[in-house]
Amino acid sequence: MKNKSNLLLLASLLGGLLFSFLFWEERLAFNLLIYSIFILAITYLNVEVIKSTKFKIYGLAHLLAAILVVVNNTDLSIATYYISLLVFVGISHNQQIRTVFSALLASILQIVTTPFNLIKNLNKISIGNFNLKPIFRLIKYIIIPVIAVIFFTCLYAAANDLFAHYVETFLTSIFNFFKGILQFFFKDLDIERFVHFCFGLVLTTGLLLAFLDKSIENAELKASEQLRRIKRGSTQKTLWYLVIETFAGSLLTRKMALKTEYIIGIIMFVALNFLLLLLNTIDITTLWFGYKPAGNFSGALHEGTNSLIFSIIMAMAVILYFFRGNLNFYSKSKILKALAFTWMIQNVILIVSVLIRDGYYIEFYGLTHKRIGVLVFALLCIIGLATVYIKVAKQKTLFYLFKINGGIWFMLLLAFSIINWDVAIAKYNLSQSEKISLDADYLLSLSDKTLPVLDENRAKLHYTPTKVYQEREVPTPQTAGFYSDQLDERIGYFKERYKKEGWLSWNLQDWNVARYFGIKKSLHK
């Protein structure tokens, strides 16, 4: 155990040094892949980490995310990298966890409690007969008072400007004192670089050292995927039940409450089905077939889509509320379930209407990140409704929904990171420039990965009046020369940035852009 602690702490120190070397004044690209290989290797070599199938799957998923950062280098791929790293770390040290959300929470908790974990492991260090246990035994007596003093100092400083000034002066003096000591012994020490190293050390330690508290894992072990009928006795009444009983008196029993909830559910689902039937009928007759844009077309589509998205979320919330417990086992619940299933089908029709609206928007105005986001959200809603159907039909718990949907969302996140969305948007919009209202300003706001595509279609970068709606509010149109100058300026910025970057910032997309414009540089600073 002691040798294991020594090796993990040594690996954390090496990880801090590696972090400082990889990321100091570098863009996130190839360096993320190197750092991930280090984390994966050390975690794999940790004898306390079980090398289960789950461990290997999430390890490979994170490795794929790291490779996608090098290949695509998009904001989505970088976000996927961080999420997959946290999920992998959470699963590695808590392998009985069953949901992606719990793995994320466990990983964040592990990183946040890094100082505590570090002290625990330093306490186990031994070199011969020497160990640090007596020192940290003393530290544990002062750490809580120190935290309390820091907390109340911040509160008092926020309440009194003069006190805050004294605190700032005091802290500045302490900082300058230690800075002077460090620079006396290490004249060439870069304080900012040292702080960057400390941050990398703390982060690496948080990723490698397991948090000893397994409360999240233990809580998940108690969670069931299958609903069970709960029989509450007089000593098991919920707070909500007691509040109702205060007003209803002895007339209220659990059976009567269940029947009341059933009747309320029947009335609500009948009314909601009728209401949604009217809306769907209007959409089918006016939107699905022979739709002709008129009036404020853009505004109508945008506002209508936002409202429908919110209504679909609320629809799933209502269903989850009514089928959260014993109503699933009520003898007459078949009618209520049939109404709920009907409402789910109607919500699928509503999602189709959202897709059609978004399709019209893309047809007339082209692709944007938000319009792609609507398509993705519609897909997630369909998946969500499908899992809600299984939850009601098979009497599953809310935990089941979190488990299934979390896994699906994680896989979709990896899948969507494979696509370079900026390039796809630019290529599509420019290829459809004769059919859509091309937004040159939006295209020029996309990442540097689109520069070759924009340069090849430079002649198309000009203000294009909308083909559908003549009253659309647009910014003052610019000339083609203006957009050409903007593109040249963007290309110039890219050339300047690319020449300054080292090999650690290498990624395939920037390399392709540099090759297109004939930019050459050595792979070292």
pLDDT score of 399: 87
- Dihedrals phi, psi of 98, to nearest 5 degrees: -115, -10
Task: Say if CB 507 and CB 29 are below 8 A apart.
Answer: yes
Two structure tokens written together for 278: 């009217």
pLDDT-based confidence at 266, cuts 50/70/90?
A: confident
469-523 residue pLDDT tens: 444 444 455 666 888 889 999 999 999 999 888 899 999 999 999 999 998 875 4
pLDDT score of 469: 44
Two structure tokens written together for 109: 């908790």
pLDDT score of 194: 83
User: From CA 164, how far away is CA 154, in angstroms rounded?
Assistant: 8
Pairwise pLDDT comparison (324 vs 73), residue with the higher score: 73
pLDDT at residue 183 tops 70: no
pLDDT score of 244: 47
- Mean pLDDT of all residues belonging to the chain: 81
What burial class does residue 518 get, using C-beta atoms within 10 Å of its C-beta: 0-12 exposed, 13-18 middle, 19+ buried? Answer: exposed
Residue 194's identity, in one-letter code, is: F
pLDDT score of 232: 52
* Mean local confidence (pLDDT), 202-221: 84
Task: Determine which of 29-43, 145-159, 267-281, 483-497 has the lowest per-residue pLDDT on average.
Answer: 145-159
pLDDT at residue 19 tops 80: yes
Q: Which of 44-48, 154-158, 460-464 has the highest mean pLDDT?
A: 44-48
Contact residues for 262 (Cβ-Cβ < 8 A; gap 6+): 327, 330, 332, 333, 336
Contact residues for 121 (Cβ-Cβ < 8 A; gap 6+): 5, 8, 9, 209
pLDDT at residue 60 tops 70: yes
pLDDT score of 397: 84
Task: Say if CB 473 and CB 437 are below 8 A apart.
Answer: no
Taking the CA atoms of residue 43, residue 48, residue 54 and residue 55 in that order, the dihedral angle to the nearest 10 degrees is: 10
Instruction: Spell out the alpha helix ranges (H) of 94-190.
Output: 100-112, 114-122, 133-159, 161-185
Q: Which of 8-22, 168-182, 204-218, 294-308 has the highest mean pLDDT?
A: 8-22
pLDDT at residue 239 tops 60: no
Q: Which of 5-19, 99-113, 239-253, 406-420 has the highest mean pLDDT?
A: 406-420
Q: Tokens 């972090």 map to which residue?
A: 19
379-395 residue pLDDT tens: 998 998 899 889 888 88
Pairwise pLDDT comparison (290 vs 353), residue with the higher score: 353
Q: Tokens 């299984």 map to which residue?
A: 390
Two structure tokens written together for 252: 């209220």
pLDDT score of 248: 47
Nearest to 250 by CA among 267, 234, 232, 229: 234
Task: Determine which of 140-144, 461-465, 502-506 has the lowest per-residue pLDDT on average.
Answer: 140-144
pLDDT at residue 139 tops 50: yes
